[in-house]
Copies of this chain bind each other. A is one copy, B any other.
Amino acid sequence: MDELTSVFGVEEKPDATNADRLYDALVEKLASPEFSPRQLFERFNIEVLCTTDAATDTLEHHLAIRQSGWTGRILPTFRPDAVVNLDAPGWKTNIAKLSEVSSVEVSDYNSFIRALELRRAEFKSIGATATDHAALTPFTAELSAKEADAIFQRALKGKSDADDSSRFTAHMIMEMARMSIEDCLVMQLHPGSLRNHNDVIFQKFGPDRGADIPLQTEYTRNLLPLLNKYGNNPRLTLILFTLDETTYARELAPLAGHYPALKLGPPWWFFDSLNGMSRYFDQVMETAGIYNTAAFNDDTRAFCSIPARHDLWRRASANWLAGLVVRHVIDIDDAHQMISELAIGLAKQAYKLNIS
């Protein structure tokens, strides 16, 4: 509703009788110059917007924006799932594309790593400050270079199995942390979604059609190898997301409170909501503290929902802080500082957006 009212000026409550009329009015507005993405970007007062882009992306649209002379800050984010997860659809084609865009002939594990490092450098040169990684679980484990290459070779021959994929992804998450320590790109990890649950939808319409369902997720044991190796390294920022709220108080807040490299991302997806935020404040903040979180960034595909999402987070934050003030847990000075951090400061710092 806030989106309809604030962005599109609709004052009526939508119902069956006005649906068609409202729809037509919205279509007309969206076609008008004031509703072009760049106009909305400026009207929404967005400081920076990051896209997620495949490791094989040519980034031509990012280059086009830069060359257009428009000064809106739009940055790419390096998302290599389609080449590091061996069971990704079209993996071999993706590897061929990776060879092409990186100018590295990817024929073994070493050349694969070299291609990824080059692409990260390219993303960084065009403004990227972060990478983004999905995985079914947060399982991490290091392979020897020899073992990694053996799996990679099997995958190239189409002979890798589910266990290979799982171990290779676990290894590559650790490799990505290593690269982040070298190039300082912030690393984001969001595990725990079973993609394309509804096969009828998948067969008819393809992937990513709203049929992704959360899974129970385990972080304490799964992240042990990565955190033991890199968790104390001040050059790493690893931002964790979850779709399993039971891990907030039990695993994520204690881990984020302990390891300098860890920060918690905001409540995500189904939990990017008023109740989701309230449960996040209740279960995360006592143990982790706000300064071990990245506060709020949205990951919407619905451009016009951006103002409402940030507005909701800021109101929810203010509401939570006001509760702490009236119960004398913090004083009003603390609250003023904390609301500024929650609204904007922590996110900019976590994602290294102050250094342009």
Binding site for B on A (CB under 8 A): 13, 194, 197-201, 210-211, 213-216, 218, 220-221, 224, 227-228, 231-232, 243-246, 249-251, 253-255, 258-259, 270-271, 273-276, 279, 282-283, 286-287, 329, 331
User: When chains A and B are docked, how far (Å) is the Cα of A279 from the Cα of B232?
Assistant: 32
User: When chains A and B are docked, how far (Å) is the Cα of A182 from the Cα of B282?
Assistant: 43
Contact of B275 with A283 in the complex, beta carbons under 8 Å: yes
User: When chains A and B are docked, how far (Å) is the Cα of A153 from the Cα of B279?
Assistant: 50
> Which of A13, A201, A259, A275 has the most chain B CB atoms closer than 10 A to its own CB?
A275
The 9 closest A-B pairs by CB, nearest first: A199-B228, A214-B250, A213-B220, A246-B246, A213-B254, A275-B286, A200-B232, A270-B287, A273-B286
Contact of B216 with A218 in the complex, beta carbons under 8 Å: yes
Contact of A213 with B255 in the complex, beta carbons under 8 Å: yes
Closest chain B CB from A279 CB (angstroms): 8
> Which of A194, A200, A282 has the most chain B CB atoms closer than 10 A to its own CB?
A200
The residue from B13, B232, B243, B273 contacting A331, defined by CB atoms under 8 A apart:
B13
Contact of B214 with A254 in the complex, beta carbons under 8 Å: yes
Contact of A227 with B283 in the complex, beta carbons under 8 Å: no
